[in-house]
Structure 1
Amino acid sequence: MTGADREPSEMRVWAPGGVGEVRTGDDLVTLLLDALAADDDPDHRPADGDVLVLTSKVVSKAEGRVVAAEDREQAITDETVRVVATREHAAGVTRIVENRLGLVMAAAGVDASNTPAGTVLLLPLDPDASARALRDGVTARFGVTVGVIVSDTAGRPWRDGVVDIAIGVAGLAPLEDLRGQADSFGRPLTMTVTAVADELAAAAELVKGKASGRPLAVVRGAGRWVTAEHGPGARPLQRTGPDDMFRLGTAEAYEEGFAAGRAAAGGTPEGRTQA
């Protein structure tokens, strides 16, 4: 890691302006580098150990990941790998699914905000690759080593409100494993693994906002987690498959449980007793 091996006692977060509306086919990396270069505050010049946090929406727009709104449900289906839970409500049915990126999200991350009327946005094709491209661009233009996060907004079980999480990472340790270290009373930590990339993504969203036209934020003071190599990306943050403690919704858990019970009693999963 490029930063000192100690807990940071101070961080600064700011969002440069000047990016403007991003459209299909735009050279996003150049737009972002130009915005960083145009910031007239000398303290804001990119430095070793900075972490850049980029909202996924502008990546999706540059990639042309826009579909007609009337195809939203089909878009959700197309992005879905596994249905985790469904919930009926007055406006229809919400699907919580695992999408092709391995993320478990409502509506597979298909979003209708900050996009022209009549369209919705899909998540980027490869957020880790987008993060690597921006990181390489910063190094080439400014000669510094930074970390990059591509973030998206998500809800959380048992908590109201939404936060930004990291869906793409480059040059940053996404997790910090504190297991085996001692707490302030000398007892060993046995469970603590900090989601560094998610915490930095959430902090950055507070200065980017949702409609300010500032899709990029810079976090300074997190250099201890910035790495010399691109690193493993965002995948280590995802808990899916057998490690997912809440992989089923209520209806799906009931259905699976009833099927298992019928099979154990000698019946078929559909409930018919075999002759």
Structure 2
Amino acid sequence: MRRAEILSVPGIPEVQAGDDLDGLIGDALVAADLALGDGDVLTLAHKIVSKAEGQVRRLADITPGEEALRYGEELSKDPRKVQAVLDESTRVVRAFKHPHATEGTMICEHRLGLISANAAVDESNTGGSDEVILLPKDPDASAQAMRDALQARFGAEIGVIITDTFGRPWRLGQVNVAIGLAGVPARINEAGGHDARGRELKVTEPAFADEVAAASGLVIGKAAQTPVVLFRGLDWPSTDDARGTDLIRAQSEDMFR
């Protein structure tokens, strides 16, 4: 019988730009008697990372351009928010507004290569009014810095995953996905192994980091103020090579273009 634990870490305060985030998380772990051990994995909701890194924009500081004004009119969106989305995007995949919706949606390719609604520009839990939160500039580097600091503090080999909440093509609802990795693999290739009946596995490749990210959503919530989750008992090969972008399907493999 295999067993894994998923523990939300309490006591994370409201994060501000310039905060020592690894110190805040380390202190919260100690206060909750959750000192890290070898093989533990931490997931961090990206918003606390973005806030600490100053990846927050005030709408009052944004001047929308012609394209933003056009999308704002078509989608009934604040053109300043649209400009923030465009600034984070390399292209707009699709923009639409359902007949009874108060506001439309822009599906965009983020500068990191992620395809998501509104280029992951979000207004919830910003900490202030008339502000939007962006993704970290380099989620993998942010995850690695967190891993290095916490490994040094606790003397344990751990993994760190930075997450965001995404919708999914052809599926309703949202789940957390991995956008930044340190130490843990993005995928685990099981091709060449065998199933329970001895059949050889040809293409089996679980998206390990996404599976962990999604599971973190079971113990956190928008209003819970528990953006950090600790996983124990997972079986994963340590790696220094994985990146969040390893989970992005190449455009050449897009069957719906």
**Who is 1:106 aligned against?**
117
2:155 aligned with 1:143? yes
- Which of 50, 54, 72 is residue 60 of structure 1 equivalent to? 50
Shift of 1:209: 1.9
Equivalent pair of 1:132/1:230 in contact (CA under 8 Å):
no
- Which of 70, 76, 89 is residue 85 of structure 2 equivalent to? 76
> Which one-letter code corresponds to 1:181 in the other structure?
G
SS at match of 1:208: coil
Shift of 1:156: 0.3
The alignment-based identity, stated in percent, is 47
* Structure 2 Cα separation of the partners of residues 147 and 175 of structure 1: 14
Matches within 5 A, 1:6-45: 9-40=2-33, 44-45=34-35
Equivalent pair of 1:52/1:219 in contact (CA under 8 Å):
yes
* Structure 2 Cα separation of the partners of residues 185 and 85 of structure 1: 44
Equivalent pair of 1:57/1:121 in contact (CA under 8 Å):
yes
* Structure 2 Cα separation of the partners of residues 200 and 219 of structure 1: 8
* Structure 2 Cα separation of the partners of residues 243 and 136 of structure 1: 35
Equivalent pair of 1:49/1:226 in contact (CA under 8 Å):
no
Matches within 5 A, 1:1-275: 9-40=2-33, 44-69=34-59, 71-89=80-98, 90-115=101-126, 116-222=128-234, 224-227=235-238, 229-246=239-256, 248=257
**Who is 1:264 aligned against?**
none
Q: Encode CA deviations 1:39-82: one digit per residue, 9 max, x unaligned.
A: 13xxx321000000000000111111112345210010011112
* Structure 1 Cα separation of the partners of residues 204 and 119 of structure 2: 28
* Structure 1 Cα separation of the partners of residues 12 and 237 of structure 2: 25
SS at match of 1:102: coil
Shift of 1:123: 0.7
Q: Please, what TM-score do these two structures have when normalized by structure 2?
A: 0.87
Structure 2 spans left out of the alignment, 5+ residues: 60-77
Aligned-residue RMSD, C-alpha: 1.5
Shift of 1:159: 0.8
Q: Encode CA deviations 1:138-197: one digit per residue, 9 max, x unaligned.
A: 111010000000000000011111000000000001101112222222222222210000
With 167-176 and 68-77 compared, the bigger mean Cα shift is at 68-77
Mark the CA change 1:226 to 1:58 in structure 2 (over 3 Å): closer, same or farther: farther
SS at match of 2:146: helix
* Structure 1 Cα separation of the partners of residues 103 and 228 of structure 2: 34
Shift of 1:112: 1.0
Q: Please, what TM-score do these two structures have when normalized by structure 1?
A: 0.81
* Structure 1 Cα separation of the partners of residues 193 and 92 of structure 2: 38
Structure 1 spans left out of the alignment, 5+ residues: 1-7, 249-275
* Structure 1 Cα separation of the partners of residues 253 and 153 of structure 2: 41
* Structure 2 Cα separation of the partners of residues 212 and 92 of structure 1: 26
Choose 1 or 2 for highest CA Rg.
1
Q: Encode CA deviations 1:60-116: one digit per residue, 9 max, x unaligned.
A: 111111123452100100111122222222334311111011101010000111112
**Who is 2:70 aligned against?**
none
Shift of 1:226: 4.3
